[in-house]
Amino acid sequence: MSKPLHPDIVVNGTTLVAADIAAEAQNQHAPKGKPGLAWRKAARALAVRQLMLEEAASQGLTPEPRELAPGQVETEEEALIRALMEQAVTPEPVTEQALRTAYDRNSDAYRAPSLFQAAHILYAARPGDKPARNAARTRAEATLQALRKTPDKFHSFASRESECASREMGGELGQLTGSDVVPEFAAALQVAVPGEVHDQVVETRFGMHVLRLDARATGDILPFEAARPRLEEAAEKVAWTCAAQSFVAGLLERADITGMDMISLPECPAGLACGGGATTQAWLMSVRFCAFPAKLRPDGSVFTNTHHDCCKSKPSGGNVPILFNIPQLTAVYLTQMRGSATTIRPVNSGCRAVNF
């Protein structure tokens, strides 16, 4: 008899079904040609899910599914895991000293919004229309090439070709902040050279843009009190994330798991009180766990628990109830639970979750 490709995974006496692991593996990132890595990640994810459900049962929790969105309600298992996290995770309080230290360490990150004076030429194309977008890019590239030789003709090109209402003003957009435009355009404003036509076509959901940045005024560093709300939010993410990590790590340490190995990773960096010690952090940080059928790819794309639809823009709340994704190298999103509120908040791997 041939030896099975993967051994049975047994968690506290419960065998994880191979078909379930295989299905979960489809949502795990792994280098091309290394399907075994995706399998191991999937097995770890389902092992943690099993432990969470067992712990919820041992505490006598009963599922009370909530509506996540119109027509979308938690399953009973999802509700149990949410209830467990709400009950079991108690973050350490954020201290004034911690906020001061974070601010002093990276005060440059807390600035007033920068102001931009810009103009553009838009070649419009719908996001899903590939032929139209290719044609728009071709036209934009041709215009950019021409403007490299005669940048003073920008007004003329914009008035003649732009498919934005700003063409009436030669493409002038006036004064902007990053929040006034879509993220892709804001990113280009940050790197463009003032006084020049940007050297690359800017692609957004609206189409292809030829950008000219006339001026940029970088926002001043905010005083501590003005930065306090952002500092507190960031510190609360760290505290909640680390408390959640410590809790799940405890479940792993007490569990009887056979058929897979947990790769040890470094403990939480000095200066961040995550609790649990080196062993706890090593166990926890080696696990990629997603409580529900919601997945997050390393590129930031979210696969929701409704048909695993890809959502390229990161959600601002609700539709991914508890995402507990702790890979080693990539920034991910982790749901922070406060009472009945659910919000998706950005974090990085392990306790390096928030870069103050």
Question: What does the pLDDT read at residue 313?
Answer: 28
CB distance 326 to 289 below 8 Å: yes
Q: Collapsing DSSP states into helix, strand and coil, what is residue 248?
A: helix
Q: 115-217, which class in CATH?
A: alpha beta
Interatomic CA distance for residues 132 and 110, integer angstroms: 40
In this prediction the pTM is 0.53
Interatomic CA distance for residues 262 and 255, integer angstroms: 12
Question: What does the pLDDT read at residue 291?
Answer: 29
Give pLDDT tens digits along the chain (356 positions). Answer: 455 566 778 999 999 888 888 888 888 777 877 767 888 888 888 888 899 999 999 999 999 999 988 888 999 999 999 999 999 998 989 999 999 999 999 898 888 989 999 999 999 999 989 999 999 999 999 999 999 999 999 999 999 999 999 999 999 999 999 889 999 999 999 999 999 999 999 999 999 999 999 999 989 999 999 999 999 998 998 888 888 888 888 898 899 988 876 543 333 333 333 333 322 232 233 322 322 223 333 333 333 332 222 222 233 332 222 233 332 222 222 333 222 222 222 322 222 222 21
Question: What does the pLDDT read at residue 293?
Answer: 29
Interatomic CA distance for residues 247 and 156, integer angstroms: 63
Question: What does the pLDDT read at residue 183?
Answer: 93
| Spatial CA neighbour of 246 closest among 266, 261, 271, 268 | 268
Domain range annotation of the chain: 9-104+226-347, 115-217
Question: What does the pLDDT read at residue 238?
Answer: 86
Q: For 204-224, give one letter per residue: b (16+ CB within 10 A) or e.
A: bebbbbbbbbeebeeeeebee
* Tokens at 246, concatenated: 């410590």
CB distance 50 to 14 below 8 Å: yes
| Spatial CA neighbour of 316 closest among 332, 330, 335, 303 | 335
Question: What does the pLDDT read at residue 316?
Answer: 32
Q: What does DSSP say about strands 341-347 and 172-176: parallel, antiparallel, or unpaired?
A: unpaired
Interatomic CA distance for residues 224 and 100, integer angstroms: 8
Q: Collapsing DSSP states into helix, strand and coil, what is residue 297?
A: coil
